[in-house]
Structure 1
Amino acid sequence: MDPKIELLAPGGDIDAIKAAIIAGADAVYCGLDTFNARNRAANISFEELVGIIRLAHQYQCEIFLTLNIVILENEFKTLAKLLSKLVNTTLDGVIVQDIGMFQLIKKHFPTLDVHASTQLTTHNRGQIPFLKKLGASRVNLSRELNLREITAMTATGREHDITTEVFVHGSLCIAFSGLCYSTSASVGNSGNRGRCSQACREEYETTESGHNFPLNIKDNSAFFDLPALIEAGVHSFKVEGRIKGASYVHTVIDSFRKQIDGYLKTGELLEDGERLYKVFNRDLTNSFLKGDLNQSMFIDNPRDNSKNHLKDKLTQNGAQSISVVQIHDAEQTLQQEKSQIQATVDDKIKHLSIAKLPLTLSFSGQLGEPLSITVSTQDFVVGQTQLVDKVFTVRSRSVLSSSDDASIDIGAIEKRFKSLNNAEFELTLHTKDLAAGLSIPFKELTTLRKQLLRELNHGVAVLPAVELPKLEKHPKPAGEAVKLSLLICDEADIALGDLTDADIYFKLPDAYKRGCTKYVDFFKQNPRLIPWFPSVLIGKDYDAALNILEQVQPELIVTNNTGIANRAYELGVKWIAGPFLNTTNSYALLAMQEQFDCHGAFISNEINQQQIKHIARPKNFKMMYSIYHPILLMASRQCFFQQSVGCEKPRIDNGCMLSCDKSTSITNLKGDEFAIDKQKAGYPSIYNQDQFLNTEIINDLAHLFDGFMVDLTNIGAGDKPSPDKARLIYQFEQLLAGSDSAIATLDNMVTQSTVLQYHNGL
């Protein structure tokens, strides 16, 4: 057993961070008021971050900063300025989603430790070396994985010197993280930008099975599974909750701290976990971890379940019936306990300060003497809660000489030392002991300032700000027309290739029968087809997909899974990044090309015209875009039919994945209908009622793209009739040829369509 495990706490605001530190967190993850995936959290300023890092380090607690969103092209200059400041702090690491940000950090800020966010949907062993090559030292695994899968992923991590992190408590997304577009499609509130509107927590019209919150699942808790996770080799136990308050954070972290420490000391779990029910919860489940995906994971109430748990406990304690008075008294007691928790936490953290440190520079010197600067400030010693005084002196190499014109006065000193009045220090300057009319070369003042900064920075040189070079936009080859491509998943649709010279992608399933070799022979017999690999390939499904890639070794593939991308690179197979890799910027294109020999990428459909047009195409790189497809809102490892139409099976098994092909719909209280579609060998998914149809981009941006794709899979259509595929192909070819009439024809053929994402963007 390796006792070197980390308890990682959420910190949505200053008080929550302080509460986590005082409760015994080994590390805290928090976000600034920009570039992080909890837009609804209070978050903190850079100035506050500096004080928080200092406070945390006094308590031997690390601070990780969340920069876990996709980045737009016009944000990289601002991002570089922020990173230039972060590298000169003692920040312990950054949490990243965007592949382009990995590239930026690896090239220009290599001293920053980088952790891969759960938004990267990391769930198979092939993704570990991909993320390692990007620069990640740690990977936050997908929340949907079970213990066996986590163990295998952690073992792969050890092989590549990369640690793993697992969520052990807090809210669960029903969707695969990083692949939820539920509110992005309607109003641009993307989870990939930290603005998730939590459509899964919304109330819907009562479903056939009698539920009003059919997508709402209980909170995650591995409180009693810690021994198994330790045995699996997991390094970091992560608690979700950056929109939760200080009392919640303190209660949960203190409970886990005691549970972990007790187990490491005695080999037994000593805590009963009851305190976890006294703060916000939607009831608790460990079903993902156990691999037991059953109906009990759902709860028809997205709000705090504390009172309901209390009532259930009263009943379990043997009461035949519970009176209204008993319930009222118990609820009053619970409320008092919550108030007491808050008061206790407030009292514990009130003395913790993140204020700037005082910094006094006293300048002194006489004619013929060096210029002396005596520095007075405070610093911390690890393990001591009180700051200690720090005093030191630096002296110039040259001696002061007489000068009437260029004397060192308060103005000259302020000009060169004012930068020390920053996020960490409150600067005061004293010059009363410096004789008037004296001077030294001004470059010596600059040298003294650098010496001061190095000493104040614990002996580490302050790095200069990074100015990003302008990226060159490489045009596509002259005279090369934009090409149409088709996505199919039905073998019967192969015949459509006789109607067109378009590239034809064949979408592979998410799941496979054990020992499946069907698709190896299939692609060898149909060499025109370009394999299209899905986003989620877990465990043996990844192994089966890998076998297809290795046995067929096609000339070209499209993949939405980075594990497959990494193996294609190793095999020398040309690959194109699919649309679900959420590619939104030039740096992501460069990262995939330079590090993995990627030949092209689909640009994310989440971004708008202006956001697309600024992307710089790398040399010899193809840019693609999907102009017609069903709009995926979310895909899940859990079953959407249990709470909508009902299902006779109490839990999901392998047979469900391979054989179920149901479809239904749910309607929210605004009257918006969403199709639930489950293809055979596919994950349950929810789609928008409208298809995405973007004919505008042909006139707007066709000069930027090498290819436009049309999705003919019928996935997400539910029971609605689909347009004739042969006619669709003809009209899209006419559209690319410049026919204006094709636009009207396509609008008539696709009766429910939208182009809102192309207008809204991120």
Structure 2
Amino acid sequence: MEKIELLAPAGSLESLYAAVNSGCDAVYLGGSKFSARAYASNFGEEEMKEAVLYCHLNSVKIYVTINTLIKDKEVREAIEYVNFLQSIGVDGVIVQDLGLAYLIRKNFKDIELHGSTQISIHNGEGAKALNDLGFKRIVLARECTLKEIEYISKDLGIETEIFVHGALCVSYSGQCLMSSMIGGRSGNRGKCAQSCRQNYKLINEKTGEETEGYLLSPKDLAFIENIGEIIESGTASLKIEGRMKRPEYVAGVVSMYRKAIDAYYAGEPFDYDTAMKNLAKLFNREGFSKGYLFKNTGSDMMSFKFPRNTGVVIGEAVSSNEVLLKENIVIGDGIRFGEEGFTISSISVKGKSVEEAYMGDVAKLKEGKFKEGEKIYKTSDVKLLKSYENTFKTQYLKKNPLDIEVYFKIGDKMKLTTSFKGKVFEVYGEEVQTPLKRPLFKENIEENLKKTGNTPFEVNSITFSEYEEGFMAISALNNLRRTLIEKIINWVKIDRGLVEKLDLNRETKNIKELPSLLVIVQNLKQLKGAYEGGARDIAINPFMRGTNIDFSQIPEDLNLYLRLPTIIKEEYRMVSAYIEQNIDKIKGLITSNFGITSEFHNRTSIIFDYKGNLFNKYSIDFLESMVDGVTLSLELNKSELKDVSKGTPLTPYVYIYGKVESMISEYCPIGATFGGKCEVKGCNIACEKGDFVLRDRLKEDFRVKTDKFCRSHIYNSHPLNLIDNIKELKGINISNFRVDFVDEDEDRVHHIVEAILSGDNIEGEGKFTKGQYKRGVE
């Protein structure tokens, strides 16, 4: 079995050094452009070159994240950036944007293409489809279970990467539009405002019941206790999240996972309890969770009370500034109580000032303003953090050993020979002279050759193939040692050269005729309202809770489409069978699930859904062989819609009305809070006992609905309304439109469809949003 890769985050050069010196096998980092962690330090071009060399000298691979969506006007800059990365020897790029993937596949052979978790690949069929389309590695959705990981990795033989530690998004990655819709900060562009970490009320509108807390804030993942099972799953890479974290965090987490992995392979015991305690000291949100690895979707994976670093309990307040300690503390530690906190500047025990206080002591902290009996937390452990400082303050903590052979003979040039990574290196120096006084002894030569200083090498052994008692200046000997090291370093540096002529050609235009207005409904009452309003091309999601389709009741002049979930996991075969059973009764499918798209694209018409995040014209070209039409990203403004739709090989749809699906989650806030116990997901089907909304601090209500697979769908508080912009959109050659109904009643659906078809608008009939149509996202 090939040893599994431990993949570490690096948000800065210091974090890179920390990761490598702590034992990672690979690092992932963002460049100064197109990184989904826009607020990390990230790497400029010179820093990137340094990072690549440093990693390769240490036999560590380096992957660069270009995992944001790319606007049309940015495409050339993005592909030129990839050109630079492949030229300097980057091992792989992690990509979300399908257009960029399309161009990478066309232009480069020496750099691996990895599919970002932002593409939301969560089943074997989707992984295989993406693999067939040129992705060497798939970063699986965090929602995949161990069984699903094993099936994709081992049974299908697809190279996968999974997250094993760090922050967990409540929504499937790449499927969250909440930050974008609320404030224009797009998670798909690396600028998420973390709406999920805010306080919400969940309200049952039928009963008036409500609950409040950080209802969308998950705990961080920690899979270290399951390292053996994960290794045996067949996945290729274990990924630690944390490009925004400090170097000490990176060092601590990497070192603990390194030890756990090595212990498993060696068949040796590992102290998981201590590891978990230290991981909690570095960062935790009310502890850790196993996420979805074992199908958990309940409240115990959430940090309802506190969305930030919780810290670890160090004791209980016995007065306003005194704590009975359960853990040691030192000056400089960070302390939290409730929502407040401080850094310890002084400690006194029994009236005496001390640097450190111990378990069992009653410690007086000058800054304390505690309530008696209150739990006190340590959020920053100075001693632990300092123990990791050497990993990034000493650049070459880990050095490569060299065995050097010396040729030192009077009248000949001195020669040094060594090998590194299977390559033999020879360098020649000055001629060895007959000594006038004292010769240069072996001990002198050995002493100076070992002075490798701040380089990535250390001399392991020195042997002499020939030695005579000759003479050479120490400066000349030192120069020869430096020449040898520089020769090795220059060999490690990769210069593949730039691809001189980049191919930005497009697919042949092959537009198929599709309905000019497509109406999406969620139940049969809405379908009836849409039909009576004049719509004849209607899609319904048969897998939303409460929806049952009787095909015999569908009017003969209605062209029925099935709108399928983006997320289809263990139920994939059932969904596939349902489509197969009814394929002669439908006009086509609307989906952004790669597995379904791949399976049925030769059988029926397919329109790719907006959750596929099609952001530039090349992303449409990527799908040209698989679909007939596409729904463009809702994060594009008018000008960008014009750019994308120009010359496209597929029919582009623009979403003109509806409450946008802001999140889709394997976790259900209704079941986790209002639910009881049941055999399915422990929620007693609470979602069927009311109509639910999430209310934010601005008193905006976000509708929460569930599907038949117990996933939750959260919709924007106000409908997007571009109905009065239809004429304007037609002016930029967009003539296919889409309407989505979520919680509108039959009459409202009828009215809106009728207004669209008659050329009216519905402004003034409620509170609407234009979304990104005017402003766009940064």
TM-score with structure 2 setting the length: 0.75
1:180-329 → structure 2 map (5 Å cutoff): 180-204=176-200, 211-266=212-267, 268-272=269-273, 273=275, 274-282=277-285, 283-299=287-303, 300-308=305-313, 310-311=314-315, 324-327=322-325
**3-state secondary structure, aligned to 1:504:** strand
Q: 2:694 aligns with which of 666, 669, 678?
A: 666
Q: 2:541 aligns with which of 502, 507, 510?
A: 507
Closer, same or farther: CA 217–499 of 1 in aligned 2, 3 Å:
closer
**3-state secondary structure, aligned to 2:772:** helix
Q: 2:768 aligns with which of 750, 753, 761?
A: 753
Percent identity between the two aligned chains: 25
Deviation at 1:505, TM superposition (A): 1.3
Q: Does 1:557 align with 2:557?
A: no
> Is the CA contact (8 Å cut-off) linking 1:510 and 1:682 kept in structure 2?
no
**3-state secondary structure, aligned to 2:518:** strand
> Is the CA contact (8 Å cut-off) linking 2:153 and 2:160 kept in structure 1?
yes
**3-state secondary structure, aligned to 1:169:** strand
Alignment deviations for residues 411-455 of structure 1 (CA, whole Å, 9 cap, x no partner): xxxxxxxxxxxxxxxxxxxxxxxxxxxxxxxxxxxxxxxxx9xx9
Deviation at 1:262, TM superposition (A): 0.5
**1:305 partner letter:** T
> Is the CA contact (8 Å cut-off) linking 2:30 and 2:37 kept in structure 1?
yes
**1:487 partner letter:** I
Q: What's 1:62 paired with?
A: 61
> Is the CA contact (8 Å cut-off) linking 2:124 and 2:148 kept in structure 1?
no
Closer, same or farther: CA 626–380 of 1 in aligned 2, 3 Å:
farther
Closer, same or farther: CA 148–526 of 1 in aligned 2, 3 Å:
farther
Q: Does 1:725 align with 2:749?
A: yes
Alignment deviations for residues 87-120 of structure 1 (CA, whole Å, 9 cap, x no partner): 2111110101111111010001232201111111
Q: Which shows bigger deviation, 660-669 or 75-84?
A: 660-669
**1:506 partner letter:** I
1:33-52 → structure 2 map (5 Å cutoff): 33-52=32-51
Q: What's 1:90 paired with?
A: 89
Q: What's 2:404 paired with?
A: none
**1:748 partner letter:** G
1:76-475 → structure 2 map (5 Å cutoff): 76-158=75-157, 162-204=158-200, 211-266=212-267, 268-272=269-273, 273=275, 274-282=277-285, 283-299=287-303, 300-308=305-313, 310-311=314-315, 324-327=322-325, 330-332=328-330, 338-352=381-395, 381=420, 461-469=496-504
Deviation at 1:573, TM superposition (A): 2.7
> Is the CA contact (8 Å cut-off) linking 1:488 and 1:506 kept in structure 2?
yes
Q: Which runs of 5+ in 2 are unaligned?
A: 204-208, 335-355, 357-379, 398-417, 430-486
Closer, same or farther: CA 620–466 of 1 in aligned 2, 3 Å:
closer
Alignment deviations for residues 30-50 of structure 1 (CA, whole Å, 9 cap, x no partner): 001211111121111121111
Q: Distance in 1 between matches of 2:496 and 2:675?
A: 63
Deviation at 1:206, TM superposition (A): 9.3
**Matched residue pairs, number?**
641
**2:607 partner letter:** I
Q: Does 1:699 align with 2:730?
A: no
Q: What is the root-mean-square deviation of aligned Cα atoms in Å?
A: 3.7
Q: What's 1:486 paired with?
A: 519
Deviation at 1:210, TM superposition (A): 5.2
Deviation at 1:81, TM superposition (A): 1.5
Q: What's 1:421 paired with?
A: none
> Is the CA contact (8 Å cut-off) linking 1:510 and 1:537 kept in structure 2?
no
Q: Does 1:543 align with 2:564?
A: no
**3-state secondary structure, aligned to 1:747:** coil
**2:178 partner letter:** S
Q: Which runs of 5+ in 1 are unaligned?
A: 355-378, 393-451, 736-741
Alignment deviations for residues 43-100 of structure 1 (CA, whole Å, 9 cap, x no partner): 1112111111111112111111001111111111111211121121111101011111
**1:755 partner letter:** K
Q: Distance in 1 between matches of 2:66 and 2:672?
A: 35
Deviation at 1:705, TM superposition (A): 2.3
Q: Does 1:528 align with 2:559?
A: yes
**3-state secondary structure, aligned to 1:173:** coil
Q: Distance in 1 between matches of 2:283 and 2:622?
A: 41
Q: What's 2:442 paired with?
A: none
Q: Distance in 2 between matches of 1:247 and 1:494?
A: 56
Q: What's 2:364 paired with?
A: none
Deviation at 1:681, TM superposition (A): 4.8
Deviation at 1:725, TM superposition (A): 1.9
Deviation at 1:548, TM superposition (A): 2.3
Deviation at 1:457, TM superposition (A): 8.0
Deviation at 1:552, TM superposition (A): 3.2
> Is the CA contact (8 Å cut-off) linking 1:102 and 1:134 kept in structure 2?
no
Closer, same or farther: CA 678–321 of 1 in aligned 2, 3 Å:
farther
Deviation at 1:493, TM superposition (A): 4.2
Q: Does 1:567 align with 2:591?
A: no
Q: Which shows bigger deviation, 275-284 or 145-154?
A: 145-154
Q: What's 1:415 paired with?
A: none
**3-state secondary structure, aligned to 1:726:** helix
**2:109 partner letter:** P
**2:562 partner letter:** P
Deviation at 1:195, TM superposition (A): 0.6
Q: Distance in 1 between matches of 2:685 and 2:149?
A: 20
Q: What's 1:578 paired with?
A: 609
Q: 1:712 aligns with which of 724, 731, 741?
A: 741
**1:330 partner letter:** N
**3-state secondary structure, aligned to 1:166:** strand
Closer, same or farther: CA 652–119 of 1 in aligned 2, 3 Å:
farther
1:613-624 → structure 2 map (5 Å cutoff): 613-618=642-647, 621-624=650-653
Q: Distance in 1 between matches of 2:89 and 2:514?
A: 51
Q: Distance in 2 between matches of 1:481 and 1:120?
A: 26
> Is the CA contact (8 Å cut-off) linking 1:677 and 1:684 kept in structure 2?
yes
